[in-house]
Amino acid sequence: MFSKLKREMVHIRLGRVLAGFALLAVVAGCGGGSPNSPTRPGETHSSETPSSAATEWLTTADGSQKLARSVPSGPASAPVITVDDSSRYQQFWGVGAALTGASAQLIGRLSGERRDQLMRSLFSPSQGAGLSVLRQPIGANDFSIGSHSLDDTAGNGPDPQLRHFGLGPDHQGVLPLVRQAQDLNPGLTVVASPWSAPAWMKSNTALIGGTLNGQYYAAYGRYLARTVAAWQAAGLRVRALTVQNEPSFSPAGYPGMTLTPDQQAHLLSQFTRPALDAAGLRQVGLWALDDNYDRAGDAAQIASTARSAIAGVAFHCYSGSVSAMQSFGQQHPGLPLAISECTGGDWSPDFGANLRYDVQSLLIDGIRAGASWVLKWNVALDPSGGPANGGCQHCRGLVTVDPGSGQVTYSEAYYALAQLGRFIQPGAVVVGSSSSPVPNVAFRNPDGSHALLAMNSAGASVSFRVSDGGHSFAASLPAGAAATFTW
């Protein structure tokens, strides 16, 4: 995460395309109910689709319809989006966010019934958004409750044997909610990411700033492997690990740590991968970079020296363009990619602009550029963008939880992710689809069903047909609307 000043500079630099991320969303009844997903008369709110017909799930730019179910219709003579099952690309893990300490505190304070309703709305594939990936911070970050690592010592004295290791406050606050999310969505997996090594491992012996002290590379590798093992023992399904959040950026007000590309490659290949293997965690993939699009050059440097140790490369959205990720993927074919963090905030309050950015730039463009998973930042924040731990003061979660009233508001990002999360099964693959007349991305599920996400960024309605060679249907999308078509 960027500091407030740096984030505001980034958004100015990115220009009007990021002038979105609205807080305009639907307030659940009595504050704790499920999000308002309108249905047409006589229809039910379900993701099941008759095999003989396509179903449309529509979210409009003005927010008047959110995941509204209907039968698609349009002129028979419209241009065709061709879906090609023979062109198969990456397996898609899904969409998600992070159950940070801030998110867990807000959700945990809801009454039992309201909390369960909210968790279903977030994670259930049939009743909610179907979030299936959680990127969980290891220790403190800019949205944790206080600053800590999982191996704090008195006076920051050295502890290379990790005798003081413990799961800390997350054991009671965060991990139970992650387990509940896994129960609601059996396909959900966890990505683990640290913001800082323990203070005693760092050049400045502090959680804020500094870099990793050379004599503690081995200890840090063991620390990360031990965290994964402890989380798995606590019931979490950890699938991936990064070694540092945004290693090119040293935040001034919350835990962080810089690592050069050479340091990252050395830590990944010589210490962390061996530590995971020694702990019997060979199935946990190491993902490199975990930094912005404009650090693609760093990713290339890491891949050139540590390719055998890494399972993929993860990018953030805050600086640069998704085209840099696409170019990197073309230069390093066969290396999986992901978008591991992106957030909205109160700097841009327009629902339609936010929907367009999240659906087109993150989901459609990101997945067509090779992303195997796409994540936002906080699952939940309060109306003031907190509780924060020294970082962004204007960020917004997928949902906003008012700690006083218990009212829950669902952001456009929630609906953007639900446009995919609800309809993509574990093991789904991205398949070929023509890129016009509207931006789109297509998937084939393991059961043979299809989903196509489309976004009309134009100022007028656009009509088209969708054909996979065996099925065909016509559709029309209103200006600024997003829709998922399932068949």
Cα angle: 232, vertex 234, 240; to 5 degrees: 30
Question: What's the residue count for the chain?
Answer: 487
Q: Outline which parts of the chain fall under CATH 2.60.40.1180.
A: 61-88+431-486
The pLDDT of 2-24, averaged and rounded, is: 36
pLDDT digits (tens, 9 = 90+) for 223-250: 999 999 999 999 999 999 999 999 999 9
- CA distances to 80, 374, 451, 468 from 434, rounded to whole Å, are 8, 21, 14, 11
- Confirm whether pTM is higher than 0.85: yes
According to the model, what pLDDT value does residue 164 have? 98
387 Cα distance to chain centroid: 20
CATH number of 61-88+431-486: 2.60.40.1180
pLDDT digits (tens, 9 = 90+) for 260-315: 999 999 999 999 999 999 999 999 999 999 999 999 999 999 999 999 999 999 99
Residue (of 247, 277, 278) closest to 262 by Cα position:
247
**Options 3.20.20.80, 3.30.70.3040, 3.40.50.720, 3.40.50.150; CATH of 4-22+93-424:** 3.20.20.80
pLDDT for residue 77 is more than 80 = yes
Cα angle: 94, vertex 319, 271; to 5 degrees: 65
Residue (of 282, 394, 275, 355) closest to 10 by Cα position:
394
Q: Which two tokens stand for residue 139?
A: 């220790």
Cα angle: 60, vertex 350, 126; to 5 degrees: 45
DSSP 5-58: HHHHHHHHHHGGGGS------EEPGGGTS-----B-TT----S---TTS-EEEE
According to the model, what pLDDT value does residue 3 have? 41
φ, ψ of residue 22 to 5 degrees: the values are -75, 160
Q: Outline which parts of the chain fall under CATH 3.20.20.80.
A: 4-22+93-424
Q: Computed over its alpha carbons, how large is the radius of gyration of the chain?
A: 22
CB neighbour class for 353 (10 Å; exposed up to 12, middle 13-18, buried from 19): buried
Peptide bond between residue 387 and the one before it cis (omega within 30 degrees of 0)? yes
| Helix segments in 165-246, DSSP class H | 170-173, 175-184, 217-233
| Amino acid in the structure at residue 63 | G
pLDDT digits (tens, 9 = 90+) for 148-174: 999 999 999 999 999 999 999 989 999
